[in-house]
Structure 1
Amino acid sequence: MKKIILISFLSLLIFSCKSKNSATSTKLDTKSEVAIKGNWTISSVNYPGADVIKVTSFDLADSKCFIGSKWKFVSNNNKGIMTLESPKCTAYSTPITWFINKEGQFVMKILDEAKAKTVKSGYVLRVANQTETSFQLIDRINVAGNMTDVVYQFEKLN
């Protein structure tokens, strides 16, 4: 009987210590999702050392290429489109799938020609300073051993 109680206690301890802070396994923040429904543009991309350090955003292009990019977010099916249109960069457009979890994390997959369930990698950014007309997505990157915030400032299009 003591063994059963001990085993039960140990298994309870092991399972209760398991991390539950996964970006993809948490509940959705539908209020935040509905608030960013619509058409947006990135008005700025800021990070320390932006004048001398080149950052490739979303493994696609230089972060400066995202200034002026157009984003469409559809909250009822968590799909959208991202379009880069900077004259100094290669034009690019792709469907995306996205959601915002209860921890304020924006989780996005770039779909290109694939279906969302076959894409195994994506991006997790933090949502900040959300209003009716603007919000920020903040990415954490490693620059020379230091974690640095890359802030994408979104402005609502009419």
Structure 2
Amino acid sequence: MRNLILLILTATFLSCGAKKLVTSKEKRFEGNWYLEKITYNTDANYNVTLFNDASKYCFEGSSWKFLRDNKSGNYVVNKTNCETKVRDFKYEIGNEDTATGFYNLVLTPINGNISKSYNLFLKDLDMSSMKWQESRTIDGIQFTIEMRFNKFD
């Protein structure tokens, strides 16, 4: 009987393990962040528009806020010559991608009636920093965009 109870408890914990891992990531995700740096894995000089909104130049230095309770947030671009209004979004942290070991991250900006989701990877996350990764194909060339954030609250 004791072995049966132990087996049931073990199965229960294992089946909830992935959800608990995502929940712990969401707890660390919550708060105020600063988008420090955006890099590409190529030396080519592309003027990439991120989230159908602004350039790399505008996004570097932007302030981001993530709310865990309703999986929403906003960001503000802070640079001169960039539109500085508050942009709202929804997000979802999915399960770990077996090929990369990163977590799937879906970001959906809320721009009036336009709702396009962006699939990213949550590459690294701790209590004070995180990295996102996005793959793009431009002019037939596959490359990776990495966004590095620092937490400031």
Identity of aligned residues (%): 23
Letter in 1 for 2:79: S
Task: Name 2:108's counterpart in structure 1.
Answer: 109
Letter in 1 for 2:34: T
**Which structure has the highest strand share of the two?**
2
- The yes-or-no answer on 1:70 pairing with 2:69 is no
Give the Cα separation in 2 of the matches to 1:148 and 1:125. 13
Whether the aligned pair in 2 keeps the contact of 1:33 and 1:99 (CA below 8 Å) is no
Aligned pairs, number? 128
Give the Cα separation in 2 of the matches to 1:42 and 1:128. 15
Unaligned ranges ≥5, structure 2: 1-18, 97-102
Unaligned ranges ≥5, structure 1: 1-26
Task: Name 2:11's counterpart in structure 1.
Answer: none
Give the Cα separation in 2 of the matches to 1:95 and 1:150. 22
| Partner SS, residue 129 of structure 1 | strand
Task: Name 2:132's counterpart in structure 1.
Answer: 137
Task: Name 2:121's counterpart in structure 1.
Answer: 126
Deviations 1:73-107 (A, max 9, x none): 01121011111111132223211111100121111
Whether the aligned pair in 2 keeps the contact of 1:81 and 1:96 (CA below 8 Å) is yes
Alignment of 1:9-48 (within 5 A): 29-48=22-41
Greater C-alpha Rg: 1
Q: How large is the RMSD of aligned CA atoms in angstroms?
A: 1.9
Give the Cα separation in 2 of the matches to 1:53 and 1:45. 12
TM-score normalized with structure 1 length:
0.74
Letter in 1 for 2:51: F
| Partner SS, residue 101 of structure 1 | strand
Task: Name 2:4's counterpart in structure 1.
Answer: none
Give the Cα separation in 1 of the matches to 2:42 and 2:123. 21
Give the Cα separation in 2 of the matches to 1:49 and 1:90. 28
Whether the aligned pair in 1 keeps the contact of 2:42 and 2:143 (CA below 8 Å) is no
